[in-house]
Structure 1
Amino acid sequence: MQLLVVGALLSPGKRTVTAALRVLGLADDPRFGTFHHLLSRARWSSLQASRVLLSLLVTAFVPSGPLVLGLDDTRERRTGAKISAKGISRDPVRFSHGHFVKASGLRWLSLMLLTPIPWAHRLWALPFLTLLVPSQRYNEERGHRHKSVTDWARQMLRLVQRWCPGRPLIVVADSAYAAIRWLSDLQQDRPITVITKLRLDAALYDPAPDRAAGQMGRPRLKGDRLPTLASLVHDPQTRWEHVRLNRWYGEIHRQVDIISQTVVWDHTGLPPLRVRWVLIRDPKGKFSTQALLCTDLLQTPRQMLEYFVQRWQLEVTVEEVRAHLGVETQWQWTDLAIARTAPATLGLFCLVTLMAHERWKSHHVRVRRAAWSAKTLPTLVDALAEVRRALWKVPTFRTSAPEREMVQVPLEFIERLTDALYSAA
């Protein structure tokens, strides 16, 4: 297993088992089938690996305070009759407001730790737990109860809550998780704070009035109906508050207009939910007015905005793992190997971050620069290059026999070659 992990970190291009063996000098090893069986047959727990990974991340980057988690799903495009868990749904990566994209493949739900990285001087999203969400047809063919994405998300969050007892959890997610029943379930027992988008036409009500002395009947669950958030946008009576944020989707010191209120969100047949909403308007008119909700009524509007803006790092991480860590390039087709390989490949992002963090405690931070690039801070590419520099020095690989003919190579050529190898995607 260690050889497979090292081979995946060093391999450029596709992250297949054979690519890992080749880069380690094991292309002639007759036991190559054993490496495939580690993914398709061996008994080991992906959940336990995720728990260990989260423990390492928390110890290194978030030793105290609440854990801010990002929840998002992505699509891995896989075709073929043997890829049984695949389905057809909206592709969240290639989808835009003016272009609806459907894709056939595997749907993955990923939970990421949102934390500042000291040497990067910015916030990263680290995917420590990823689960496969099988299609409805897959479950029906096997007689399994179909679980929606929100069902899987609830299980993942409760699992993390058991792994980190005593640590408050704050979850940021997109509008797909603005579901009353799901949010209400997360407020039972040990509440989990969720910040997500809210529809502008949602049915909002005043909190239920106090029960009068001697009043008969069932107590009220909500008060009077309130105007929709969409109507508040164009209402001249709306009093907007000007807020200056330190970070806003890559910008620094961005000013927005907000208004906030604590209400009851209700829908027929569903339990009413107490939430705090915040309506956001851009004075520059660059983005349309949108609303957020938070299940923690004590959160301030500024805190809600600062937490939700961090969700953009989820998209950055998904793009990085596709470009540099070989996600979507694996070729396993058995159910068990499929369920293990993609989460392990995404977990390489966390592993690279941890290894680079340990290296740069005692070494100078290296950033790959060029005359045409003003890059000053390290990114995943630089962290991966640093990890590869360290791994190439470990006596893990087969070397030439002593009787082999030696060839002198210019040092400048070796340096250019190793630089290209360290930074290969």
Structure 2
Amino acid sequence: MITLPEEFSQQISAFAGLFSKKVFEHAKVLITGCLLVVGRRTVCSALRAVGLSQYKRFDKYHSVLSKAKWSCYRAARILLLLLVDHFSPAASYLVFGIDETIERRRGAKIKAKGIYRDPVRSSKSHFVKCSGLRWISLMLLTPISWADRVWALPFLTVLAPSERYHQQRGKAHKKITDWARQMMLQLSRWLPNRLIIIVADSSYSAIDLLDSVRRHVCMITRLRLDAALYDFVPPRPAGQVGRKRKKGERQPTLLQRLDDPETKWTEMVIPKWYNHGARSMCIASGTAIWYHSGMPPAPIRWVLTKDPGGNIDPAALLSTNLDLDSAQIIDFFIRRWTVEVTFEEVRAHLGVETQRQWSDLAIARSTPILMAMFTLITLWADHLQKQNRLVIKPCAWYQKSRPTFSDAIASVRYRVWRNQHFCTSIFQADMQKLNPPWAEHLIYMLTRAA
């Protein structure tokens, strides 16, 4: 049976306290198989990948997901602490991204599936629906030195069922913002002495959500150009009676500020504007109270961006931390794009949407495990990089100077397979039955397979 090298087992051993001794051994086998398997990430495929295709008690490994008692939330906390200790042990702040994705699944036994808008195939003018499971993932956005860019590393992924699912069971529906609030507050409890910055798209730009978490974390999201903004409440005159004011005078909307000749614009060069490199943008910023009737007032700093060349549509951002400057808010928000990259990578290389669990508990565990595998592989690849074992395999028609996730998972797989199946004799005179170039090519094809 194939096992992980000792250098990789050190991170896995941190999770030993979550399981009984027997279940932990079975869990390690599944993690190894999930790393090495080519094709679908099912339990049976994982067992074949580690050489257990003839093992008759295969039901024990299914039970790790469907019956065994262990907590995904405790596992998420352990993984988060591993990440922080490895990549940001002394950082003054930590940046996280939160977003949802749809896992396309079919089957009458999958109770939590619903009909959602397909974010990949839909556009502003074209609406596409898909059936599947909706997941909300919280990721650490941290620079990876050997990749020369920020990666989004998932550690907490939760299932957010549809409204129909809750109605059929007579339960109160929890919206995306409700799940996000719980996840953010949980994160603040896990990291009580850190400044936490969370970036999100416009789905999380809700006044009630901002108000409920602003004392614990700093949120940076998009802001509607027609949002109702007000001045801060002026000092209350002495002796005045009555209810306290929630807002001051109405400010112009950001849409009006775009065409206002009195708006003070500052031209700023953004070093990394998504994947376009450095870009010059016109920036305007200010503070305000974002208020809507029936909602609590939300003090924010808004940032309005405009392309001098007119090639990019104007956009607005908000921060619940009023002390951040415009450049910091833009830089933090741009990191959010790496969350979408991670969603694509876990589908392409880790088999998300190919698993076939039907029981509720197994479904709730399998996808978070695959998302966490992205993070574990990144940790292992960083360890290999320090040993100069993180290898890039360029082609004549495709050259790259920095490793990507495909190189990371290939190098990790290479380390596992090379140690256990292609160790040759120490004697130089021994006959080699397998031509070394062909052995390298075989390993290369296996490591690059999704």
Name the TM-score class by shorter chain: over 0.9
Checking the alignment, whether the CA contact within 8 Å between 1:161 and 1:169 is kept in structure 2 is yes
User: What does 1:242-321 correspond to in 2, within 5 Å?
Assistant: 242-321=267-346
Cα offsets for 1:153-195 (capped at 9, x unmatched): 111111111111201110000000110011000124xx31000
The residue type paired with residue 82 of structure 1 is K
Other-structure match for 1:172: 199
Asked if 1:225 corresponds to 2:265, the answer is no
- The one-letter code matched in structure 1 to 2:325 is T
The answer to whether 1:94 aligns with 2:121 is yes
CA distance in 1, matches of 2:344, 2:108: 27
Q: Distance in 2 between matches of 1:420 and 1:121?
A: 26
1:349 positional shift: 0.3
Asked if 1:130 is matched to 2:157, the reply is yes
Matching residue of 1:328: 353
Shift, 1:96, TM fit: 2.5
**What corresponds to 2:95 in structure 1?**
68
Q: TM-score, normalised by structure 1?
A: 0.95
**Residue type matched to 1:47 in 2?**
Y
Q: Distance in 1 between matches of 2:168 and 2:124?
A: 34
- Alignment match, 1:403: none
Shift of 1:407: 9.5
Pairing of 1:44-193 with structure 2 (within 5 A): 44-64=70-90, 65-188=92-215, 191-193=216-218
Tell me, in whole angstroms, the C-alpha distance in 2 between the residues paired with 1:182 and 1:110.
17
> Structure 1's 168 and 396: CA in aligned 2 closer, same or farther, altered over 3 A?
farther
Aligned residues: 415
Identical columns (%) = 51
Partner SS for 1:147: coil
Q: Which stretch shows the higher mean deviation, 307-316 or 60-69? A: 60-69
SS in 2 for 1:248: coil
Determine the C-alpha separation between the residues in 2 that align with 1:347 and 1:365.
20
Contact 2:93 2:194 in 1 (8 A): yes
Q: Structure 1, residues 188-224: CA drift from partner, whole Å, max 9, x if none? A: 4xx3100000001111111111111222222222111
**C-alpha spacing 1:323/1:137, structure 2 compared with 1 (3 Å):** same
Distance apart, 1:99 and its partner CA: 2.6
C-alpha contact 2:381 2:390 (8 A) present in aligned 1 = no
Match for residue 21 of structure 1 among 22, 43, 47: 47
SS across alignment from 1:242: strand
Query: Which sits farther off after the overlay, 141-150 or 18-27?
Result: 141-150
Letter in 2 for 1:61: F
In the alignment, the residues of structure 1 paired with residue 93 and residue 262 of structure 2 have an alpha-carbon distance, to the nearest angstrom, of: 37
Paired residues of 1:280 and 1:289 also in contact (CA < 8 A): yes
Q: 1:73 to 1:63 in 2, by over 3 A?
A: same
Kept in 1, the 8 Å contact 2:290–2:298? The answer is yes
Give the Cα separation in 2 of the matches to 1:173 and 1:369. 35
Q: Quick one: which amino acid aligns to residue 214 of structure 2?
A: Q
Q: TM-score, normalised on structure 2? A: 0.89
Which blocks of at least 5 consecutive residues in structure 1 are unaligned?
398-405
Query: For residues 364 and 260 of structure 1, do their structure 2 counterparts lie closer, same or farther at Cα, with a shift above 3 Å needed?
Result: same
Aligned partner letter, 2:180: A
- How does 1:319-358 map onto structure 2 within 5 Å? 319-358=344-383
Q: Which of 105-114 and 280-289 deviates more?
A: 280-289
The AA in structure 1 aligned to 2:156 is L
1:35 and 2:36 aligned: no
Shift of 1:396: 9.7
Distance 1:246 1:95 in 2: 30
Report SS of the residue matched to 1:183: helix
Alpha-carbon distance between aligned partners in 1 of 2:103 and 2:130, rounded to the nearest angstrom: 9
Establish whether residue 384 from structure 1 lines up as the match of residue 422 from structure 2: no
CA contact (8 A) 1:321 1:346 kept: yes
CA contact (8 A) 1:68 1:113 kept: yes
Aligned partner of residue 297 in structure 1, secondary structure: coil
Structure-2 separation of matches of 1:301 and 1:327: 37
| Structure 2 runs not aligned, ≥5 long | 1-26, 423-430
Between stretches 341-350 and 351-360, larger displacement belongs to: 351-360
Q: Does residue 418 in structure 1 map to residue 449 in structure 2?
A: no
Conserved? CA contact 1:90–1:103, under 8 Å: yes
Structure 2 Cα separation of the partners of residues 126 and 95 of structure 1: 26
The code of the aligned residue for 2:155 comes to F
Contact 1:264–1:272 (8 Å) recurs in 2 = yes
Distance 2:241 2:172 in 1: 42
In structure 1, the residue corresponding to 2:289 is in which secondary structure? strand
SS at match of 1:278: strand
CA positional deviation for 1:85: 0.4
Residue of structure 1 in register with 2:13 after alignment: none
The CA deviation at 1:112 is 0.5
Residue equivalent to 1:401:
none
Tell me how far apart the structure 2 counterparts of residues 8 and 396 of structure 1 sit (CA, whole Å): 18
Distance 1:144 1:300 in 2: 43
Q: Is the 8 A contact 1:204 1:265 kept in 2?
A: yes
Give yes or no for contact 1:154–1:182 (8 Å, CA) kept in 2: yes
Q: Distance in 2 between matches of 1:136 and 1:415?
A: 52
Q: Comparing 95-104 with 214-223, which one deviates more in the overlay?
A: 95-104
Alpha-carbon spacing, 1:239–1:136, altered in 2? closer, same or farther (3 Å):
same
Residue in 2 that maps onto 1:372: 397
SS at match of 1:29: coil
Residue type of the partner of 1:43? K
The reply to whether residue 214 of structure 1 matches residue 239 of structure 2 is yes
CA shift digits 1:239-292 (9 cap, x unpaired): 211011111111222110011110011101001111010110011222110100
RMSD: 1.6
The amino acid across from 2:37 in the alignment is: S
Tell me which amino acid in the other structure corresponds to 1:223. G
1:195 aligns with 2:220: yes
**Cross-structure match for 2:425:** none
Aligned equivalents of 2:394, 2:353: Cα separation in 1: 28
Residue by residue over 1:308-337, the C-alpha shift from the partner in whole angstroms, topping out at 9 and shown as x without a partner, is: 000110111111111111111100011000
> Alpha-carbon deviation of 1:395?
4.8
